[in-house]
Structure 1
Amino acid sequence: MFEWIAQTGGGEITRLERHVARREAWVVDVTRPDGSVLEGFLRLDRHEVPANSSTSLVRETKVIQALADTDIPVPAVYGRNDELRCTLFERVRGRSDIDALDDPVQQRAVMEDFIRVIARMHTLDLDELGLADAMPYLPTTPAEAALNDVDLALEQWQGFLEHYTEPLITYGVSWLRRNAPTELHRLSLVQGDTGPVNFMFDGDRVSAIIDLEWAHYGDPLEDIGNICVREFWNPSGGLDGLFHLYEQESGIPYTRFAAQYYRVQQNVRGMIPIHAVTENAHPRESLAWYLCYRYLGDRATCQALAEAAGVAVEVPEMPAAEGAKDIVAAAAVYSIERDVAPKLTDAFAASRATDATRLIRLMDRRRRYGAIIDAVECDEMAPLLGARPATKAEGLQALDDLIRTGTFDDDAVITYLTRRALRDEWLHEPAVSLYPERTWSELDA
């Protein structure tokens, strides 16, 4: 791979650093004989990924190459190597952390420019994009457009789901099918995971749309829901008026329920692989981040469901009594934070050290509060199931079975799932604190 990077850049590698991100990436500089520097961003797949997968780098590369011929700003593709399963992209000027901007005027200007870019992307001619080989599936009904990516996730993670019980996934999929849109204004190329942090900006203008691995053909309003989700995780000044601007720029009608529906759709679709990763994480993965995504994401999903269904849920009380802290856990955290982390100069290594302290604190918190929370879950499942389950696992399995029968009270299920998610979020606070105090922004009427 080193040889290929140098050859692609036309020089010698002079910088190669692991980028701190959920998916593996590297910052690369290639210095040419004339002294010029190619500033690259290397993405790679460690293992073979199916071409139709939502995480396929091959498909993402093709989408970016197609968009490069339009007025949608995307990174240049310097090279692609299928044998090595890697792509060398341009390292785009600017920054992505719009949530960190101190100037609300600039923040708003960037968001409005981003909305205009997405509106233009949604009105591109699909035939002219030439992506038939990368995305051969074209939805033919509104329900297919809304559910195709959910069904794809269910198919891709079927092996995991066959041996995994999670009532929230089961209920979320059921709710999405029963409430699928009946109208589709047009079929568009949607980014599928769009919004704050998934685009670069320079000044008050978008310099590039990035992270297009979820791109597919679907309902353009799906991206409206995705923007809500990204803004939940990365608050960027709220959403007031942005979707009316989108409607004005694209000519595609916006509805509040579509935004509510696709907030749930995005979360349920993303929840499936996140649960799989947290249950089967390789030590190479940043498990603290994934646990944060899981438990904060579960709570966000439940609250989005409750709002869409018009269900008011009371926040439960959390355990007050604290068990004895583990001196071994405290010693491990102390040594990492005081003796190891301050000596680290590599950003990726420092990030991993922080992850380790969060995981140690989380294990100690589970030890102290896990049994208390489990008993509460059994108590609260009793009215739904008609009897108190002997264990939390048995109760969740029985609730999952009940949801699959289709004979349940939506309000009661949503209420229980939301209260459980709030307790889980509290229990996993050392990981969830990576994204503290996250709430849904108000939607345009």
Structure 2
Amino acid sequence: MTEPTHDLPEGLLPWVASLGPGHISRLERHVARREAWVVDITRGDGSVLEGFLRLDREPAAARNVSLQREAAICRALTATDVPVPELLGWSDTYHAALFSRVPGSADLPGVDDPQRQRRIMEDFIGAIARLHCLDLDSLELDEILGARPSTPAEAALGDLDAQLQAFAAFLKHYQDPLLGYGAGWLRRFAPRQIARVSLVQGDTGPVNFLFEGDRVSAVVDWEWGHWGDPMEDLGNICVREFWNPSGGLSGLFERYEQLSGIPYTRAAAQYYRIQQNVRGMIPIHAACSQPGLRESMAWYLSYRYVGDRSTCEALGDAMNVAVEAPPMPDTSSDHSVLLAAASATLQRDVLPALDSPFARSRLNDARVLVACAEREQRYGEAVRAACCEDIGRLLRRQTRGYERATGQLMEAIAEGRVADEPLIQLLARKAYREEWLYQPAAALYPERRWAALD
């Protein structure tokens, strides 16, 4: 085998090969938001171990989301009737996990037959119902997941608080009124009662499970797993169905209630889809501030601006507040010939010549970033000026400078000086404008809308 190009830590591949044991006969970077590699290990008898390698290059001991957590949960669930990839090995040295490569597809939105799509979602909701009914003591996960929540508020807010703590240094100097208002809103409206504490996946729904035929072959991506309110996962399903439309949600949560015996309420789903959006947007906003990000900045920009807009729409739905997009700027600064030329060159001349799927994906990311930079140069000042005008009207004080106006809005939110309805409407107008401004990235997830809740 030709030695593949990679920048994996020295010593990691010999550890992977030892799990066969054998020699690595295939090593390919997987096109995914978080770093992953497809690995084949050929044993001495000619058999092949098909693996999926994940690693966490910058592990943080206090972080509530981790690959180590995912590995431990998969190990614990292997003996249950919840289908998960088998954990083949975990390395404390490299903070790496090798999982079995489960057959199946994650592309539920790509299934053309709506009836088959529905059958798959019904099988999936059955797996989640079984997950939420598991005996927690038998899983032996308290050491890695920590103490179980003792109150409904702890169940609803524990993971949010952990996220706020993990990103405290970033948030100290980062001004975002939607994140600030969203966190406060979640505290004010936290559920007062829950049916039980369960192991929840924390990021579950379409594309985070594999299927073959009409059946789920594995539920994947457990790094957000924790003890919590089972309704949280139903909110997660709403969010993932938003990003990956899979036939809607009608009747699915009633089916969940029938299978699990755990009562479903529409209000709980409304609350937890906001909860996942707010806590999920914190690391996404942080990633969008890192110039040296190893992962796809284009995808993070899409998650951020489409996600912020969807958060505002979910808040409006939960609070019975009508939100709508404002007019977009009809004037702009001169466009950049250099940025436009760079984008055209990448799209026309370079992208078609690449053979590696990963390299093609990253080059397309670069094209999107250049296109976003070109729009930022043309329209950014007009968008920020419109946001300043909105803030001035709400606070009844006009302030020059976007950062200063945003800071004043943050102070007003923290002090409770603005009413929910006009504030949600302002945040929505801001989100609609920014999604439009970063349209080349937002177009990676075009026309995303919330599925109706029963």
TM-score (norm 2): 0.96
* 1:77 maps to amino acid: L
Partner of 1:129: 139
> Counterparts of 1:9 and 1:340 in 2: how far apart (Å)?
38
Query: Is the 2:325–2:433 Cα contact (8 Å) retained in structure 1?
Result: no
Matched, 1:13 2:24: yes
Q: Which moved more, 1:122-131 or 1:332-341?
A: 332-341
- 1:272-283, aligned counterparts within 5 Å? 272-283=282-293
The answer to whether the aligner puts 1:416 opposite 2:426 as a matched pair is yes
Structure 2 Cα separation of the partners of residues 140 and 130 of structure 1 = 18
Answer yes or no: is 1:144 the counterpart of 2:151: no
Match of 1:53 among 60, 63, 77: 63
Aligned to 1:217: 227
- Aligned match for 1:320, one of 320, 330, 333: 330
Q: Gapped runs of 5+ residues in structure 1?
A: none
How far 1:104 sits from its partner (Å)? 0.8
Check whether the contact 2:35–2:295 (CA below 8 A) recurs between aligned residues.
no
| Corresponding position of 1:40 | 51
> 2:335, 2:377 within 8 Å by CA — same for their partners in 1?
no
Spell out the pairing of 1:228-307 with structure 2 (5 A cutoff): 228-307=238-317
Quote the Cα distance in structure 2 between the aligned partners of 1:83 and 1:71.
31
Task: Specify the alignment match of 1:193 in structure 2.
Answer: 203
- Percent identity between matched residues is 55
Q: Comparing 256-265 with 275-284, which one deviates more in the overlay?
A: 275-284
**Partner amino acid, structure 1, of 2:275:** Q
Partner residue in 2 for 1:338: 348
| 8 Å Cα contact 1:286/1:352 also seen in 2 | yes
Alignment partner, residue 427 of structure 1: 437
- 1:298 aligns to what SS in structure 2? helix
- Matches of 1:294 and 1:335, distance apart in 2: 27
Instruction: Provide the secondary structure at the position in 2 that maps to 1:189.
Output: strand
Residues 325-334 or 193-202, more deviating: 325-334
Cα distance per residue 1:302-349 (max 9 Å; x no partner): 110010000001321112235433221122122212221111111110
| Structure 1 letter corresponding to 2:344 | Y
Contact 1:54 1:214 in 2 (8 A): yes
Which residue of the partner structure matches residue 378 of structure 1?
388
- Is the contact made by 1:199 and 1:209 (CA closer than 8 Å) also made in structure 2? yes
- In structure 2, relative to structure 1, the CA distance for the partners of 1:211 and 1:321 (3 Å cut) is same
CA contact (8 A) 1:57 1:86 kept: yes
Code of the residue aligned with 1:151 in structure 2: it is D
Q: Is the aligned partner of 1:114 residue 2:124?
A: yes
1:192 is matched by which residue type in structure 2? Answer: G
Cα deviation for residue 279 of structure 1 reads 1.2
Range 335-344 or range 259-268, more displaced: 335-344
Q: Matches of 1:49 and 1:28 in 2, distance apart?
A: 26
Which runs of 5 or more residues in structure 2 are unaligned?
1-11
Q: 1:159 aligns with which of 169, 183, 189?
A: 169
**Is the Cα contact below 8 Å between 1:49 and 1:55 reproduced in 2?**
no
* Partners of 1:333 and 1:357 within 8 A in 2: yes
Number of positions where the alignment pairs a residue of Structure 1 with one of Structure 2: 443
The 2-side partners of 1:111 and 1:400 are apart by 40
State the partner residue of 2:39.
Answer: 28
Pair 1:366–1:61, CA change in 2 (3 A) = same
Contact kept, 8 Å, 2:354 with 2:360, in 1: the verdict is: yes
1:399-427 CA-to-partner distances (Å, cap 9, x unmatched) read 10001112321101101001100000000
Within the candidate set 352, 372, 397, 2:407 is matched to 397
The alignment partner of 1:434 has SS state of coil
Which amino acid is the alignment partner of residue 57 of structure 2?
R
Deviation at 1:35, TM superposition (A): 1.4
**Between 279-288 and 404-413, the greater mean CA deviation after superposition:** 279-288
SS at match of 1:95: coil
**Structure 2 counterpart of 1:47, which letter?**
E
AA aligned to 2:277 is N
Task: Note if contact 1:72-1:121 (Cα within 8 Å) is conserved in structure 2.
Answer: yes
